[in-house]
Structures are given as structure tokens and as C-alpha cells.
A = this chain, B = another copy of it.
Amino acid sequence: MERIALFPGSFDPITRGHHEIINKGLGLFDKIVVGVGINAGKKTLFSVEDRLRIITELFEHEPRISVLPYQTLTVKFCKEIGANFILRGLRSGLDFEYEQSIAFANKELDESIETVFLLSSPSYSNISSTIVRDIIVNNGDYSKFVPKGFKI
């Protein structure tokens, strides 16, 4: 059976940390779907179109990665795309407690889907989309925090 993982997130915008987890995930899964969550009630800095385009451009050389938007429960989207795993990166103990709640809720909703965690490396473990947005809004140099090849 193919091992297919969903890597869900807002990606507003994708960071160097996200990029690393996706690349590490390729060693573990046959296919990875980067799922860009659409939340009508939440204001984002980047439009859905831009978020999808940026990620698609970054991985266009890698046929095992696809990029899709979704606007439903994460476990339902897994079913639609045939994913049996959810891939998540962990940066800190704080991250962990949050991720644990989400993962347990997903397990309650669909027992067949397992969440798999990989670690961000130390130098990326303090990068978040929030910090990147803050630097962008204040006209700072965000290039160290986003993947090489990232184009707004």
C-alpha cells in the first residue's frame, strides 16, 4: 500500500521550517500532499492563490509532492486525497501540546489516520509564519526565514 501523507497548514507564508519538514517527509512517504487550509474567518497576509503558487513553484521539480487547497475537516480531506497519514513538524514543547490536542481530535474523528511528527532542525526551530509576516510588514529582510527560491 502506498504511504501518502497530508502536510496541512495555513502557509501564510511557507517558511524554511515547513520546507525542511516536507523534504524530510519524502524519505518516509511515497507521496506528500501540501494542503493549504482556507479559513474564511481568518485574515491572512497572502491570498490563497499566492500561498498555493509560492509552494507549487518551490516543489515543481518534485513529482511526489502536490499542492492543494482545502476547506473542510482535515481528516475528511485526508479521505478525499487517499492520505493515511498526517505529517507535522515539531519545534518546541509548546508546539507539542498544541499538536497533541489536534492529533487526538483527528484520531477520534477517524481512527485510520495516524499523525507522524518530524523535528525541525535547531536553526529552523524558531521560525514561524507569524515572525515572517512581522518582518515583511516592517520591511525587514525575511530571506533567511523562507525557502531558497521563495518569490512573493
Contacts and interface: CB of A to CB of B under 8 A. Distances in A.
Given A73-B138, A93-B93, A93-B96, A126 B104 contact: yes
Copies assembled? 6
A59 interface: no
Interface residues of A, number: 48
Given A73-B135, A73-B140, A141-B109, A103 B122 contact: no
Contacts of A135: 73, 105, 109
15 contacts: A73-B134, A76-B140, A90-B117, A92-B93, A92-B97, A92-B100, A94-B94, A100-B126, A101-B126, A105-B127, A105-B131, A107-B121, A115-B119, A122-B122, A123-B123
